[in-house]
Amino acid sequence: MNKLLSIALVAILTAMAAGCDSGLKWNVNGSIEGADSKTMILQASDNGRWYTLDSITTDKSGNFKYSHDPIGYPDIFRLVLDGKSIYFPIDSVETVNITSTADAFDSDYELSGSTAAEMLMAVDNRIRNSASVNGKTSVANDSVLKRELAGMLLGDPAGIVSYYIICKKVNGQYLFDPANPRDNRIVGAVANAFDQFRPNDPRTRYLRQVFLANRQLVSPAGIDTMLVNEIKLFDITLTDNKGKPHNLEEVTKNNKVVVLNFTIYSAEGSPAFNLDLAKVYEKRHNQGLEIYQVAVDNDEFQWKQSARNLPWITVYNPPSTGSQILLNYNVSTLPTTYIIANGELVERVDDITKLDSAVAPYL
């Protein structure tokens, strides 16, 4: 089963369990130095509209604890103290911990307790760094920042942190402006992933509407179209688990057919998927088939451990710098598989069990 799908199923089952057992709650605990006996506001969001959910008062040492019933799907909340905000995610019934100071409440803090919390903290830290170097008005135009965030986002497009990135504004500007065709492709990748893995999430419809409202359509008469040179495939050069570079164009020249696959090795369904790939590889490799598999895992070490025993070409696409490759190949869900024949991208295969019959005509 795909990891993203399994996460969604776990969230649903957890929410159902919460309905049967009122003792299951999510928690946010923490310590705010210098905020003794202070009242903070806890807010939730309705696709960008923030509203007050509750208030939390610290004790005489600045410590606090708060519990709330799960709502059935991941969400983003924020704590507000004296006009300063800390954002944090809640998936189901986990506990998120927050430590900070009253003076630097929104700029010097730590989130822990879940992977999503740590990722969201990293996102906001990176945005603040960009703002301190370039100024708030230039953050939305920081191409390096956006490449890094796009890599994180496309590594887990159905995650709540991806939704947070898509909706994030700095100085009134979206980091990924849906009115910008390039940025809207990122919005579309997240919308598509939510539609596939979180169809009942209230954010899914919102993301889909934003994407469709800003999608540029080509008129039948060809008006407002852009002429571009024909590209048979986008070249890729990445290194394998031993540090050796592999160039996709060279691989296609040396083989009749190349299966180009984008995947996450740490996904729950990855071993079964690679087993199906192995069956095709064993059957067709001597006929001129090669597999060029691109991993987009966040954990490079874990990928190396998994990749070392595979017989085909396995390369690593770093999430922080590899977003352009995913954009070039319109990778919005994982795994994504293409067939390349005679140096040209000829077919996309969505059902791995049909890969063998799909490649056979090209060999």
Domain 237-362 has CATH 3.50.50.60: no
Q: How far apart are CA 66 and CA 327, in angstroms?
A: 41
The pLDDT assigned to 5 comes to 40
The pLDDT assigned to 320 comes to 66
Query: pTM here?
Result: 0.60
The pLDDT assigned to 284 comes to 96
Domain boundaries, the chain: 3-213, 237-362
Its sign, for the CA torsion 49, 52, 58, 63, is negative
The region of weakest confidence among 10-14, 198-202, 255-259, 327-331 is 10-14
The pLDDT assigned to 61 comes to 95
Whether the per-residue pLDDT at 231 is higher than 70: the answer is no
The pLDDT assigned to 311 comes to 96
The pLDDT assigned to 156 comes to 80
Could you count the other beta carbons within 10 Å of the beta carbon of residue 94? 17
Could you count the other beta carbons within 10 Å of the beta carbon of residue 176? 21
Whether the per-residue pLDDT at 199 is higher than 90: the answer is no
Angle CA 33–34–38, to nearest 5: 105
93 vs 231, more confident = 93
Q: How far apart are CA 290 and CA 267, in angstroms?
A: 23
The pLDDT assigned to 157 comes to 85
Whether the per-residue pLDDT at 331 is higher than 90: the answer is no
Q: How far apart are CA 353 and CA 330, in angstroms?
A: 22
The pLDDT assigned to 12 comes to 41
The pLDDT assigned to 321 comes to 66
Continuous H helices in the chain = 3-20, 115-134, 143-155, 160-167, 181-197, 202-214, 248-253, 270-284, 300-307, 323-328, 355-359
Could you count the other beta carbons within 10 Å of the beta carbon of residue 57? 11
The pLDDT tens digits for 111-142 are 999 989 999 999 999 999 999 998 989 999 99
Whether the per-residue pLDDT at 19 is higher than 60: the answer is no
The pLDDT assigned to 51 comes to 87
The pLDDT tens digits for 148-186 are 888 788 778 888 999 999 999 998 899 999 988 888 888
The region of weakest confidence among 153-157, 175-179, 292-296, 305-309 is 153-157
The pLDDT assigned to 43 comes to 93
Mean of per-residue pLDDT scores for the chain: 85
The pLDDT tens digits for 217-228 are 443 444 333 333
The pLDDT assigned to 13 comes to 39
23 vs 16, more confident = 23
The fold adopted by the segment(s) 3-213 is Immunoglobulin-like (2.60.40)
pLDDT above 70: percentage of residues in the chain? 88
pLDDT above 90: percentage of residues in the chain? 52
Instruction: Summarize the confidence of residues 71-100 as an average pLDDT.
Output: 93
Whether the per-residue pLDDT at 337 is higher than 90: the answer is yes
